[in-house]
Chains A and B, each alone.
Chain A
Amino acid sequence: MAEAMADSYNGDSEPTTRTLLRRVLDTADTRTPRRRRSARVGAQKALLETPSSRRLSSPTKMNVRRHSHRVRSIGRLAHVHTSGNVEEQTPRTLLKNILLTAPESSIMRPESVVKPVPTPQVVQSSRRDSSRGSLELQLPELEPPTTLALGLLAPGRRKQRLRLSVFQQGMDQGLPLSQEPRGNASASSLTSSLNLTFATPLQPQSVQRPGLARRPPTRRAVDVGAFLQDLRDTSLALASPGDSLRTPVATLPADTVLEDTQPFSQPLVGRSPSGYHSLTCLSHTEVEDAERAVSLRTQSSGPRLQNHNPGKPAELLAGKAKKVDAHAVSFPNNSSAISGEDGVEPLQDGVDEEAEERMEESLSVSEVMDTTGTQGSVRTEKSKRHREMSEAVEAKEPEGSSGDEDISGRRASPELASSTTEFLQARQPQFLEPALPPSTAVLSSEPLEPLPTRLPPRARTPGPRPRQDPHKTGLSHYVKLFSFYAKMPMEKKALEMVEKCLDKYFQHLCDDLEVFAAHAGRKTVKPEDLELLMRRQGLVNDQVSLHVLVERYLPLEYRQLLIPCAFSGNSVFPAQ
């Protein structure tokens, strides 16, 4: 006791836990509950029991630290215990022994002290596991095995696993350091849950069953450069089959891919370059179609577009019939791919479905026109160059050669990772004429177009181009429903007809709703107006009510929104 007191006074420069413990030992009552331990295998067992007893006596963090101290210095303590009073293994005596033997240290222990310790711990902790089965003792032994397990896992897995293993290794490396003060503190079950929360989930599982370890989701920040590189690689790899068509165009697919920032468009990337190839092939056709196409594009009136659309596909069909033979098979796929690639559209899934279904040329052609036009207009927003080009194109709209110039200018500058290239190409696929235009200078003057600028989210302007495309994709939903209800194969012209009918139907619908709302003195169209409309159409009558129709045709979620239903608590949803 004297030496303990001396030690406490000597090292009492600051009130450490050690000194506090000593004071407690010195001042507290010596009578302690005797614990008869019949089986005393050795110091280790005694030490095993002392933590439990100590826990009961004084559940503090410093006790926990003592535990770790004990753990570490178990070898040293062994002889102490054997020499000491084996009969009286009171908490007090054990604490004193620890104070005597445990090295002085601060909470923040340097790494060097920890490293040599884990090795002897492995043996002892294994024994402890069997006897105590607590998690905190597993920690020291887990460190080496976890790193081993991670090392084994890392090479055999994908990049994600590697990163995870790196993460886990970093965690482990961080853990021994932080464990030291805290891991010791967590030796007692009272504090283990608090301190080990972020350690235990990772390690115990991975040690015992590496395959079942729960891996935190790895989230990688999008590496723009890597992404672009991957795009280039894939596009170039995919563009190789299409290279036979046209070498200068070979670079265009890369550009196309680069510009396409739609998250889901990557699978379609492979098809799009070849699609553009086919587009350029087909562009060798008429110029009058191009003129019409240009006029179509620049005109923003809906009806005109609608009128032109049925006419245009027919003309395009006629024109393309000559040259499409070689590309007939691939073109619908590609055009559908392109239309599917139109990532700008929110209804992309509808577009994709449409792309799968619509192998017909006319529709695919019209879609291609629309989608490419949309793409072009979308990219127009991205960069001034696009706008310039579009202006230049539109300025020269009446001349069919304008697009040719642009196209040729594009080819002249193969390094231009420019969306306008595809934009123009897509917009005027019929344009040809490899004549060097004055616009080439404009084109070459702005080859910059830094790639990252394409990746930022696209802002969509409500121009005539996007108005047609999402309109088409929205209509396609109902056209698909039509083909489903018809249960018979349909011609492409018939589907176009259905689209026209749907357009007219929507117009009539809006007019009627306006009339009904105005009749009721409202400016908002309410469900009552809709009911009146359906009544007028003969769908709703005295036998069949609106609710019946709602239940029959709409899915449950919509039904719940439309039909008021009583819920508990005297509440009705939707409120009436």
Chain B
Amino acid sequence: MAFSTTVSQRKHIKRKAPRGFLKRVFKRQKPHLRLETSGDLLVHLNCLLFVHRLAEETRMNAFENKCGVIKKEHVQAAAKKLKEYGKI
């Protein structure tokens, strides 16, 4: 699988979608439903965007608190904010 982006981090972030994991999660949650083949890629995209938004919000919270480390409270506040806006 060729990755379209290079990560300048010491740990390379995988760009692969855990398709099996997503399919399994969906099946566990809704066994009576079926997920289409390309659907799980879009679910992955959705997850990426969600995580992106959450991380941005968390970072902003941490900056506001003038913390160099992200704390649990930052994450919680960010999650709450996203929920208000309809992150779901």
Contact = CB atoms under 8 A, between A and B. Distances in A.
A491 B70 contact: yes
Interface residues of B, number: 62
Nearest to B74: A494
Interface string B49-88: 1111011101100100000111110111001000001111
Contacts, number: 186
Contact of A488 (B13, B18, B69): B69
B49 A484 contact: no
B33 A517 contact: yes
A539 interface: yes
Interface in B36-58: 36-39, 41-52, 54-56, 58
Nearest to A531: B42
A485 interface: yes
Interface stretch (A24-32, A261-269, A398-406, A519-527): A519-527
Given A490-B70, A491-B71, A524 B33 contact: yes
Given A485-B52, A501-B79, A525-B34, A490 B18 contact: no
Interface string A521-555: 00111110111011011110000001001100111
Interface residues of A, number: 71
B38 A487 contact: no
Contacts of A498: 54, 75
Contacts of B85: 538
A481 B48 contact: yes
A322 B62 CA distance: 31
Contacts of B75: 494, 497-498, 501
Interface of B: 1-5, 7, 9, 11, 13-18, 20-22, 24-26, 28-30, 32-39, 41-52, 54-56, 58-59, 62, 68-72, 74-76, 79, 85-88
Given A498-B54, A525-B34, 7 more contacts: A494-B74, A505-B88, A508-B88, A509-B88, A533-B46, A554-B44, A561-B41
9 contacts: A474-B18, A483-B55, A489-B69, A513-B30, A525-B34, A527-B36, A527-B42, A555-B16, A562-B42
